[in-house]
Structure 1
């Protein structure tokens, strides 16, 4: 009898098919082996899991609800749109699901500090929150472009006690923030733990973050069934690195449910105008793992763009590359303008202001609902848009009507 998908994938070396693995400097091999061994032990520990459940219930406010978008569905005139409300998770996004678990793991390992990169700032805020909760130091690396764009989250991190390191080289966005954080981590791996912010990076992080985020999918599956007496016809989530998408998809991989990975098309199809790695990329190694990535003419990571700072990354989690390759997921793209349109429509019709990243998934759901009038689609609304409102209104004037 075959074991369930989540138990057999990835393999012991962290491979999802040919994707994944751990391509790291020799001086980090010991640290990553230590993290992997600790996770394998703690993931089966009642005490660890029980503490996580307690934290999720009494600190994070889980379970977050599934919500039926009555007015948006009626406006579209098609299928039914449902949202998994991760914007209601403490700190305003799904990121705290793995940050609290990673910080608890760091405490078990005796580390004094947790550190990470951040794009939109949601992972940084969540990790700073976890550090404050557990009494750990926190160091967050963030590109200068994103710091200016996501100023409210920078302030939140600082209020929570994190040291925010501005990254001033290259495009000064997410990819450079990862580079900078890895460089800093090399110097302090003995006392710090790098809490990677998505289902990316060397093994065991793609598996570990997926497992921590799977609470989203399993909650949503039970809630949707309770609401409707059936499973959704489709699930959709935006994919940058891909943690919120794997969180939702993980519960439905072995069910007859279509899974849509929604990538940021940005300004267009030319290299440098988008961050649609699965759509336009090719196999390559970046930041310690093998996956699908966008490359320039020299084979280096290509410049990327998206209105959503949390998804402007030139690669994607290895499990997403694998699921696309075996035909389990379908990859769709949404432009900046389509995401903005969904941002305003969800706000006006449902009273929910989504994160720009999440608005990509909402925009796809609107398209899907219009074309599939007899279906129900469940979207992971991975974050709220408080962090984005200044940027949006400065660049996309508030419409008089929708």
Structure 2
């Protein structure tokens, strides 16, 4: 079947569906994949009866009948048992792709399963993470930020930052990029293709390919290239070919996949986000889970226990899952994901797929999506470019559905409004740390969260990247707001 045909997207609204949850095929065009969908020998849409502890009728009444804790753990365990055979987290995920890609994805899944149990690969990866990436990253006690959020009686939670901004390349993305580049090398691939939005995954992929002598092509939306020009320059310095695509990250992803499909025998698609067909979401989450593993170890060393609350921003899901996954079975640890509300959650200009989205299929997997009544994708918006994606990880979709993780939103103004009390400015001026605008969304939620927590509660925020790439944008934004100087916080 020719690869020039186009894959239509599947959209699904639970409130309007039958108990079988069968979606309608819309006319939305996502990328140049054939119309015929292959779902890896698993039921295409809803298999909750066989893969979870509930039926679709149970799902439809989930909000009115809260899930018991034992049911949450049961659902997680059952999903873990069936993940590699179905590619699904509950009903989310799967492999909705053309037949030409199924064999390639199956080979990738087999290789991934092999290296996860291969001591030689794991030892090589551990050395790369230590000596090249710079792990482990600190779990930093933000004392001045902690003091800032104390109440009038001097009480409040203790705030810690997981410093992923200190990784080589300035973000968490390198954890996954170096591991997948090593897999590409093992599989005999000569070139790597990838898509990037904010540019951090592009830089991480370019660096990893340079280290391992792999050709590298990065696709990036023209709007993102303009907004993140410093990262474009870094990719080129690292030897990558950067190709412009009209649009943003979602368009760059479609183009990268098209390029990969054209040369499956020699090229490797290096996914940087926990989305797409199986095994991509599982691979990205697994390679990012080092964040949570270190956090558990460091928390035990610092205060002899686990975090009480873990907070992370959510774009498509890689950094959130990286720190959440280690604690997903610890039900006494609250997991809070923060999506971008953009200009406002009801404005239509946001990136809150989990908060405002419906269920559908996009880029080869089922998850929550921003879509209209016709199933057409609604363009996402956020001042944090890395949060602009109309879908989200199928695993995060699953954690939302079973009630294991909480998801809230933060507006652009709360993350950055050009004044001294926005989240970006607070961390800069109180702790001397310049966060990425994506991480600033997670930090901004502390203003709402801290007053609700008991004194001494241990809160860990995943500081997923540093703000070098955003410095020019922030300066221009501040000038637009007619703010010339940020006052001291003394």
Q: Corresponding residue for 1:386?
A: 468
**Structure-2 separation of matches of 1:39 and 1:28:** 16
**Deviates further, 3-12 or 313-322:** 3-12
- Given the alignment of the two structures, is residue 205 of structure 1 paired with residue 317 of structure 2, yes or no? no
Contact in 2 for aligned 1:114/1:194 (Cα 8 Å): yes
**Structure-2 separation of matches of 1:165 and 1:141:** 5
Contact in 2 for aligned 1:369/1:376 (Cα 8 Å): no
Q: How does 1:347-362 map to 2 (within 5 A)?
A: 347-362=428-443
> 3-state SS of the aligned residue for 1:291?
strand
- Which of the numbers 75, 88, 98 marks the counterpart of 1:25? 98
> 3-state SS of the aligned residue for 2:83?
coil
Superposed displacement of residue 230, structure 1: 1.6
Q: Corresponding residue for 2:240?
A: 162
Q: Corresponding residue for 2:229?
A: 151
Contact in 2 for aligned 1:271/1:304 (Cα 8 Å): no
Cα distance change on mapping 1:100 and 1:205 into 2, 3 Å: same
Q: Corresponding residue for 2:424?
A: 343
Cα distance change on mapping 1:193 and 1:209 into 2, 3 Å: same
- Which of the numbers 343, 356, 371 marks the counterpart of 1:267? 343
Cα distance change on mapping 1:11 and 1:111 into 2, 3 Å: closer
Cα distance change on mapping 1:325 and 1:157 into 2, 3 Å: same
Superposed displacement of residue 373, structure 1: 3.8
Contact in 1 for aligned 2:337/2:405 (Cα 8 Å): yes
- Which of the numbers 220, 241, 251 marks the counterpart of 2:295? 220
**Deviates further, 241-250 or 261-270:** 261-270
Contact in 2 for aligned 1:271/1:303 (Cα 8 Å): no
**Deviates further, 224-233 or 155-164:** 224-233
Q: Corresponding residue for 1:238?
A: 313
**Residues paired across the two proteins, number:** 399
- Which of the numbers 47, 57, 61 marks the counterpart of 2:130? 57
Q: Which has the higher contact order (CA 8 A, sep 6+)?
A: 1
- Given the alignment of the two structures, is residue 329 of structure 1 paired with residue 416 of structure 2, yes or no? no
**Structure-2 separation of matches of 1:53 and 1:223:** 18
Deviations 1:169-203 (A, max 9, x none): xxx11111111111111111111010111110100
Superposed displacement of residue 25, structure 1: 1.4
Q: Corresponding residue for 2:68?
A: none
Cα distance change on mapping 1:9 and 1:208 into 2, 3 Å: farther
TM-score (norm 1): 0.96
Superposed displacement of residue 7, structure 1: 4.8
Structure exhibiting the larger radius of gyration computed from Cα positions: 2
Superposed displacement of residue 399, structure 1: 2.7
Q: Corresponding residue for 1:79?
A: 157
Contact in 1 for aligned 2:193/2:259 (Cα 8 Å): no
Q: How does 1:278-293 map to 2 (within 5 A)?
A: 278-293=354-369
TM-score (norm 2): 0.79
> 3-state SS of the aligned residue for 1:246?
helix
Q: Corresponding residue for 2:256?
A: 181
